[in-house]
Amino acid sequence: MAQQQRKRATIREVAKATGLSPAAVSYALRGIQTSEETQQRVREAARELGYEAHPIARALASGRTGMVGLLCGSLEDLWQQALAVGIGRALFARDRYAIILDAAGDPEREVTLARQLRDQRVDGLIVQPVDPAAEVWAELGESLPVVSVGDSLRGGHAYGEVVFDNRAGVTLALEHLHQLGHRRVAVLTPTRASTPDRPADVHVHAEAERIGIQVDVVTSPQDLPGATETALTMLAGPDRPSALFCFSDSIAYGVYAATRALGLAVPGDVSVAGFDNHPMSALLTPPLTSVDWDIDDIVHSAVRVIVGGIDGKPRRRRIVCEPSLLPRESTGKCPQ
């Protein structure tokens, strides 16, 4: 005879195990009116007892779905994939669930998906914006908390933001190349012509002029075939730049593929620098020089701010992430 299925634990049993009232347990499981320590203790007891709140009943009682939208700029970028995994897991640890969508680098697609997430009644939205200046962010900010990651949303319409000090990151990379003697650098960016005012792209021109480097900014896809094709165009001619600075490590991987197809040595013929420090970058031959952002801290900060917005708790709403440069063997002295 098949073993009888274990009866689902009740909220009263969780209350008895934790020494709290059923109401306090309910609040803790919903992440409201209780401390984070109490919420964690209640969740652990609920897991041990096998308690599961019925999602529809919980949504009706709290007015919340437990779902958080995560709208990624482009999941072709491996670093954004890693960030999405981290945020999804961190939300799950807080008894919330991520709906992860991919804007594929398309501003119009981003607007459509953002509105769909709102219409699906997510409790909040975390976005890595393709177009930080889009009017849709003001529209969404009126009905749910929105937290941006990477760039600020124009007009201050986000509930919170975890922004990158892109000027510092760009300066670190360009000064590193300048010190190695490079004076002509191609910058490969995923930014499209329809969204030309992203901070990193604006900073690269200002910083290049300040330190005396000529830069040619070229739009590149982040998928490997697309990035490879763009790099082949940049490197195939006789007047190629001495270094390429890529605004994502995923684009730099395409540059590596192009150099091998053309028989060019890195860094002997051309230096390559990235902008993410994806874990794979240290395993390349040669290992990739890259600007590093503390992804674990970004995940923690974004989740903490969005949960605070959902729960209506006062939180530090603007967090600035500082970069560091990890010089590796992909950058060397400019060939004479």
Which residues, including other chains, have CB under 8 Å from residue 179's CB and lie 6 or more apart?
Answer: none
| Count of Cβ atoms closer than 10 Å to residue 264 Cβ | 16
Question: Mean pLDDT lowest for which of 118-122, 151-155, 168-172, 222-226?
Answer: 151-155
pLDDT for position 314? 65
Residue for token digits 């903490």? 304
pLDDT for position 128? 92
Say how far residue 80 (Cα) sits from the centre of its chain: 5
pLDDT for position 56? 47
pLDDT for position 313? 76
What is the b/e burial string over 130-164, where b = at least 16 CB atoms within 10 angstroms of the residue's CB?
bbbbbebbeebbeebbbbbbbbbbbeebbbbbbbb
255-267: pLDDT as tens digits? 999 999 999 999 9
292, β-bridge pairs: 276, 324
pLDDT for position 263? 96
Tokens encoding 228 = 């490879």
Mean pLDDT confidence for 304-326: 85
120-161: pLDDT as tens digits? 889 999 999 988 888 899 888 888 999 999 888 876 667 889
Residue for token digits 């763009």? 230
180 has pLDDT over 80: yes
pTM of the model: 0.74
Question: Mean pLDDT lowest for which of 76-90, 206-220, 247-261, 307-321?
Answer: 307-321
Edge-to-edge strand ranges of the sheet holding 97-102 = 97-102, 67-72, 124-127, 146-150, 160-164, 318-321
183 has pLDDT over 70: yes
How high is the mean pLDDT of the chain?
Answer: 86
| Count of Cβ atoms closer than 10 Å to residue 172 Cβ | 20
How much of the chain is helix, strand and coil, in % rounded to 5?
45, 20, 40
33-76: pLDDT as tens digits? 788 888 888 888 888 887 766 554 555 455 667 899 999 999 99
Instruction: Work out whether strand 243-246 and strand 289-292 pair parallel, antiparallel, or are unpaired.
Output: unpaired
Query: Which band of pLDDT confidence, cut at 50, 70 and 90, is reported for residue 196?
Result: very low
Length, in residues, of the chain: 336
Query: Which band of pLDDT confidence, cut at 50, 70 and 90, is reported for residue 210?
Result: very high
pLDDT for position 4? 43
Where are the strands (E) in 175-323, listed by range?
184-189, 214-219, 243-246, 271-276, 289-292, 318-321
Say how far apart CA 57 and CA 175 lie, in whole Å.
57
